[in-house]
Amino acid sequence: MFSKKEYIKYSLEYNLFFGRLMKEHLIFLESGFSVKNAEYILEADTLKSEFEDFLLHIISIANGYISKDVLVSKELVTPYTLETENITQFYTGICINTNITEMEMTLPENKHLDYYNNLFNEIQMINSNAINLVERAIDYKSKVLSNVLGCKVLNRNYPSLLEHMLEEAEFYLEILHALENFNEIPIKDELVKKEVFWNHIMEEHSLFIRGLLDPEEEDLIDIANKLAYEFEKLAAVAREVLDKNLPHEKITKKSKEATKDIIEFKEASTEGLIKCEIKSIILPLLADHILREAYHYLRVLKTKKPK
């Protein structure tokens, strides 16, 4: 069991990271529908706006309570986030509240502030709201996925990408329940279990990039293929280490090296999309989105007791 101070810190950090991912998933889903599916577009946009309000509320509380390692990791916001949001708004016409990004860019690190009496209760309310929002997002994503697989509706995101978004929402919900139960094991420990999850996520990111690149981008496709294969192997080894309770140091070192490689690839890809130097159908915000996930994973791998 962790302390109330840890509960507050972890809640703010996880909600800022995953809450942004959830609202961006809804942007990607919304952008994938045709005008015929106006009800799906409206539902995604409404839920996206609720996540934006949720994030604004957290940011208003988070000043001085976020740890330095989270802020410098670039998992909350990258040097590219604001520009990719603006370009994505231009391409899609979908409104994105860029104030969230601008406010996160100036968040101060943990100042060892006093935890005022009502803060714990306020964080409990935030987590309760988060659980409600994430459950609704899961219901919406499940409905979209089911109808796409049943050929009842078309969405221009891969079905496997829809499954990927659903998987991340379910992972976020698990973390929220662990926080509310003061269960520190999924929060502080279970590094190899996180490696199984995030290595699989990194593998899928590589495959999505490969599939969304123009066929003429052969060099980038080749790199994406190699990264996907590497993370597929790492996920399998991590799963074996987890199942057999084997020493994890070797696999963790390899996961860290591969994550640094994919960060380099994602950074170059994001810059290339911003500068219009890469032929693809990748939304720039999607590139920044998956880059932030890699930054987060690298921090998890670097931290002695992952957060």
The model's confidence at residue 306, banded by pLDDT at 50, 70 and 90, is very low
Interval 268-280 mean pLDDT: 98
Per residue in 193-203, pLDDT (tens digit) is 999 999 999 99
pLDDT at 116: 67
What type of residue is 227?
L
CB-based contact 40:152 (threshold 8 Å): no
Interval 36-61 mean pLDDT: 97
pLDDT at 78: 98
* Per-residue tokens: 158: 């891969």
Tell me which residue of 53, 108, 80, 64 sits closest to 283, measured CA to CA.
80
The model's confidence at residue 293, banded by pLDDT at 50, 70 and 90, is very high
Domains 1-66+107-180 and 189-307 alike in fold = yes
Per residue in 103-128, pLDDT (tens digit) is 999 998 777 666 767 899 999 999 99
Has residue 179 got a pLDDT over 70? yes
| Range with lowest mean pLDDT among 19-28, 63-72, 84-93, 109-118 | 109-118
* Per-residue tokens: 48: 């996206």
* Per-residue tokens: 164: 């990927």
| Range with lowest mean pLDDT among 86-95, 104-113, 157-166, 207-216 | 104-113
Alpha-carbon separation of residue 264 from 20, 174, 209, 271, 275 (angstroms): 22, 30, 14, 11, 17
The second-level CATH assignment, the architecture, of 189-307 is Up-down Bundle (1.20)
Tell me which residue of 137, 147, 195, 193 sits closest to 168, measured CA to CA.
137
Domain locations in the chain? 1-66+107-180, 189-307
Per residue in 222-243, pLDDT (tens digit) is 999 999 999 999 999 999 999 9
- Chain Cα centroid distance, residue 203: 14
Higher pLDDT, 246 or 112: 246
CATH superfamily of 1-66+107-180: Protein of unknown function DUF2935 (1.20.1260.120)
Interval 146-159 mean pLDDT: 97
Has residue 165 got a pLDDT over 50? yes
pLDDT at 307: 40
**Cα distance between residue 226 and residue 203, in whole Å:** 10
Per-chain mean pLDDT for the chain: 94
The model's confidence at residue 185, banded by pLDDT at 50, 70 and 90, is confident
Percentage of the residues of the chain whose pLDDT score is greater than 70: 97
**Cα distance between residue 55 and residue 81, in whole Å:** 15
Is 109 strand, coil or helix? strand
